[in-house]
Structure 1
Amino acid sequence: MRKSGIYLMHLSYPPISNQEGDWLYNDPNVRDILKRSKLYFIGQREELLFEDVAHPNGPDGVWVFNLKCGAQICGPLALDFGQLDLPDSIQVELGPKCLKIRALPLHADQEPVYWCTPDILLYQHSHGVVHVTGLADTKPLSTFKLHYVGISKKGDSFSRLFDGHVNRSKILSNEGQIKTEARLTDEVMLFMFHIDDISIQTDIGISDIDEAFGGGVDSIEQMTMVADAEKAFANIMKTHYNRESYDSYPKSKDGLWGRGLDSYAFAINEQLIFQTNTCQIAGGELFSEAEPDLIHVSGELVSLISTPRRSDPPKEH
């Protein structure tokens, strides 16, 4: 019986800029959500902004705006406030980086009943939390230069990134802004992931039934998947700030090597594209028209397999 696995990477929280990460670091709700994340990426893209916003008229109004990322302008777009389940009387704060809605009358230290940055709105749209009219494809606004792939062996990704992370500091010290008048802290983006696995068992004969239903492959812990994913992406993407490219991958002491799998693959189950000087990998949704690229491991062979809509052949390493 052949034993395979597919490991899907999901964002534990929407992408945030380095500046937004600093603001949200002590937010207990965000910290609670991110407890699950052990794998993170640091990337860069021109700042994504709301532009040409039209002030909505009340809780059932429609907010009309554009999204601007460098020369890329997407719009006009519309968000119907009726889908947000807002109170009858609201105050709306609009700016290029954030939408905040508060209930009236206002009270001291009152939290918004709804808020989003442009990237949070993209995330919510792609996950079906809200629907933005006119936004057919989020990927043109969600393509990033990938600087670093990392894991947190102790604690969560957020703690790892903001408690003296050397490479985050190096990126902020050494990289230049894509847009000269922008702040680098607004262009550097943080992606915090968790991993879910889909176990697949094929070529099952009568003699394999007991093994198949008894769990022929031992249950694989989150940190084992995370440790292997870090090595897989660093090996394939050749990120500049990863000191190791794990040339012996997929062989490792703390990953999936030796765990009884004949083959396995990693996929980013999000509408994101990451690029380095040598490589590109696109996320997507498994078993849909927007299939993600795969980092595929079979024995000692590691390949980047592009989705059918891309013509590039798999790359072997």
Structure 2
Amino acid sequence: MSNFMNRKSLLNQLELAYAPLTAYEFAIVKDDKLIERALEKASLYLIGQRPVSTFENVIPDTTVYQLNFEIHQRGNPNILKCKLPFDQEIFGLMQDNVVDVAFNYLDRPIKQEKCPFQNIHGFSLVRHTENGKEFIIWFSPEKLLQNWWKGFIDCEIQGDWKSYIKYKVHYVGKATKQSILKRLTGHSTFQDILSLEAPVTEKQLPANEIVILPFEFQDNLQIQSFGEEADTKDMVASLLGDNYPDQEKIFIDAEKALIKAIRPSYNKELFNSYPISRDGLYNDNYDAISYTFIDPIVLVYEEGEIRGGLTHTGGDTILIINNKEFKLVKHK
């Protein structure tokens, strides 16, 4: 009986380490030190696809010092109406700072002289200082949404924003030995997806539709309960976290679990025998292991979808019971 009482579970919560980046954005920012720092703890990534999103009807409102705009997505009937105030702590503006907004247009050759400005895939805020101009922050539609739902920025957003963050998954990968940036720079599968996938909307470059979603663990929670005859040494070790698997091992296991659940078309190895594995968590003998996504994204694949962020603990759950049973539990 006592043996039955000794149980241990591992609950893993994955969260975006940075906003989803299109292949085009990735090519621009991959040498950026800030992004490199943000992705330090991210060892798992998905390559997905969604229709192009843009900022439309952009009007700087000088009376209240904010940017008014809409976010549109090709083929998505939902339009988001947004207001972004410049005067908020994260932008670090002083009393007399003048702010410029610099736009990156989707069609670069076309200059737009008058507002409202259209067809913008990103904008930067720049402040004037005594030494010239200083970059503050850059936003794509997804980075704005992700910074907003995480509570990093104040922004008024009206409309069905969750319909903008659905991703068809092509590939699941991990980068435990090197950074995601280095891993993807010469990544042949990444290049294959860009070359072979047809755009969702015609006349669009796949580079503006193919996105990289980098993940880190928000939490790995080990829960243990001990029976009456449990060894005190084991209990102390558990309290001190000594018998805890290292992050790299959990990332390796997470990659296998996600690939088995989603079966992405560009993954050559589908880990059909998972949870049995030499380098994952199989030998740690957990009674239960779970993987959930904290962010409100939707991952779409052949068999259905995995929804994240439905509660503060995550959404749909990939569950492994007693090292044998593997299932996706949909959140009610």
Give TM-score scaled by structure 2 length.
Answer: 0.85
Name the counterpart of 1:140: 163
User: 2:65 matched to 1:65?
Assistant: no
Distance in 2 of aligned mates of 1:20 and 1:261: 40
Name the counterpart of 2:178: 155
Distance in 1 of aligned mates of 2:199 and 2:327: 32
- Counterpart mapping for 1:148-227 below 5 A: 148-162=171-185, 164-195=186-217, 196-202=219-225, 204-208=226-230, 210=232, 211-215=234-238, 218-227=243-252
Distance in 2 of aligned mates of 1:245 and 1:279: 17
Name the counterpart of 1:101: 125
Residue 177 of structure 1: CA displacement?
0.5
Residue 258 of structure 1: CA displacement?
1.3
Q: Work out which of the residue numbers 20, 30, 35 in structure 1 matches 2:35.
A: 30
Name the counterpart of 1:54: 59
1:65 partner amino acid: F
**Could you list the per-position Cα deviations for residues 172-220 of structure 1 after superposition, in whole angstroms to 9, with x for gaps in the alignment?**
1110001111110010000111123011224x44444833442177211
Asked whether the 8 Å contact 1:295–1:303 carries over to 2, the reply is: yes
Q: Work out which of the residue numbers 150, 158, 162 in structure 2 matches 1:127.
A: 150
Name the counterpart of 2:100: 91
Distance in 2 of aligned mates of 1:285 and 1:225: 23
Identity level (%): 25
Distance in 2 of aligned mates of 1:30 and 1:65: 26
Name the counterpart of 1:79: 84
Distance in 2 of aligned mates of 1:270 and 1:301: 26
Residue 82 of structure 1: CA displacement?
2.1
Asked whether the 8 Å contact 1:35–1:155 carries over to 2, the reply is: no
CA distance 1:123–1:131, change in 2 (3 Å) = same
Asked whether the 8 Å contact 1:218–1:259 carries over to 2, the reply is: no
1:284 partner amino acid: G
**Could you list the per-position Cα deviations for residues 135-165 of structure 1 after superposition, in whole angstroms to 9, with x for gaps in the alignment?**
4653210001000001124211121111x21
What is the RMSD of the two structures over their aligned residues, measured on CA atoms?
A: 2.1
Aligned to 1:179, the other structure's residue is in SS state: coil
Asked whether the 8 Å contact 1:102–1:111 carries over to 2, the reply is: yes
1:115 partner amino acid: W
User: 2:10 matched to 1:5?
Assistant: yes
CA distance 1:301–1:8, change in 2 (3 Å) = same
Structure with higher Rg: it is 2
Residue 70 of structure 1: CA displacement?
1.3
2:55 partner amino acid: F
CA distance 1:135–1:255, change in 2 (3 Å) = farther
Asked whether the 8 Å contact 1:274–1:282 carries over to 2, the reply is: yes
Name the counterpart of 2:116: none
Asked whether the 8 Å contact 2:81–2:159 carries over to 1, the reply is: no
Aligned to 1:112, the other structure's residue is in SS state: strand
Name the counterpart of 1:40: 45
Aligned to 1:49, the other structure's residue is in SS state: strand
1:228 partner amino acid: D
Q: Work out which of the residue numbers 254, 268, 293 in structure 1 matches 2:279.
A: 254
CA distance 1:224–1:77, change in 2 (3 Å) = same
